[in-house]
A and B are shown apart, each in its own frame.
Chain A
Amino acid sequence: KAGVTQTPRYLIKTRGQQVTLSCSPISGHRSVSWYQQTPGQGLQFLFEYFSETQRNKGNFPGRFSGRQFSNSRSEMNVSTLELGDSALYLCASSLRPGGENIQYFGAGTRLSVL
């Protein structure tokens, strides 16, 4: 069974631009969560989607948004990029929503904002 796939793996953008990251969950998994990983802050929860609906949201500004499609694939968008948005963005999928379910992570998209 294929794992969680995130594309692209690496991305370089400049301040003010916007970016879209993609995540394909494990087949059969309907819940997708997004995390931002930075050296100083560890893994910070961005949002969780289930059945195309956002179930939970972390403490990030409105520049960070996401969506989920009917096939459970998810995209994350960051508008008006700032230098501080440079990070590894991880996507995780699980069979069901909620933190009690095992999360399977992709390898991440490393975003560098110049």
Chain B
Amino acid sequence: GENVEQHPSTLSVQEGDSAVIKCTYSDSASNYFPWYKQELGKGPQLIIDIRSNVGEKKDQRIAVTLNKTAKHFSLHITETQPEDSAVYFCAASWEDDKIIFGKGTRLHILP
């Protein structure tokens, strides 16, 4: 069945440095790839998404890249700040099919 693998499961980064989280998906028909951020005690919230007709998308300090041939996509956070500490989930979906989430990456920003 469909599967989304996410790495690493935990990531510690010095404040100001960059963080990269990587995901691979199994269903080649997937064409929508959102990233969600979950802060303590809250539900996940969409932070950026990308569709299969686009290779890269940027929004201020966060960017997502997509390689459809290799079936992987990545989240890049530059100039990390304490408020970036959270759990990040990647996901993949196809048209009106259900969305499949990765298992999450816990990001720690070290002072």
Residues on A facing B (Cβ under 8 Å): 4, 33, 35, 40-45, 48, 55-56, 58-59, 90, 92, 97-100, 102-108
Contact = CB atoms under 8 A, between A and B. Distances in A.
Contact of B95 (A40, A41, A100): A100
**What interface size band does chain B fall in?**
20 to 34
A92 B45 CA distance: 10
A102 B101 contact: no
Interface stretch (B14-22, B36-44, B57-65): B36-44
B96 A99 contact: yes
Contact of B98 (A4, A40, A56): A56
A56 B99 CA distance: 10
Contact of B101 (A4, A42, A106): A42
B97 interface: yes
B43 A99 contact: no
Contacts of B44: 43, 90, 103, 105
Interface in B15-33: 31-32
B43 A56 contact: no
Interface in B83-111: 89, 91, 93-104
Contacts of B102: 42
Contacts of A43: 44, 89, 101, 104
- The residue among B89, B93, B96, B100 with the most chain A CB atoms within 10 A of its own CB is B96
A42 B98 contact: no
- The residue among A4, A55, A105 with the most chain B CB atoms within 10 A of its own CB is A105
B98 A99 contact: yes
A107 B40 CA distance: 10
B96 to A, nearest CB: 3
A105 B45 contact: yes
A58 B100 CA distance: 10
Contact of B43 (A42, A48, A92, A98): A92
- The residue among A33, A97, A99, A107 with the most chain B CB atoms within 10 A of its own CB is A99
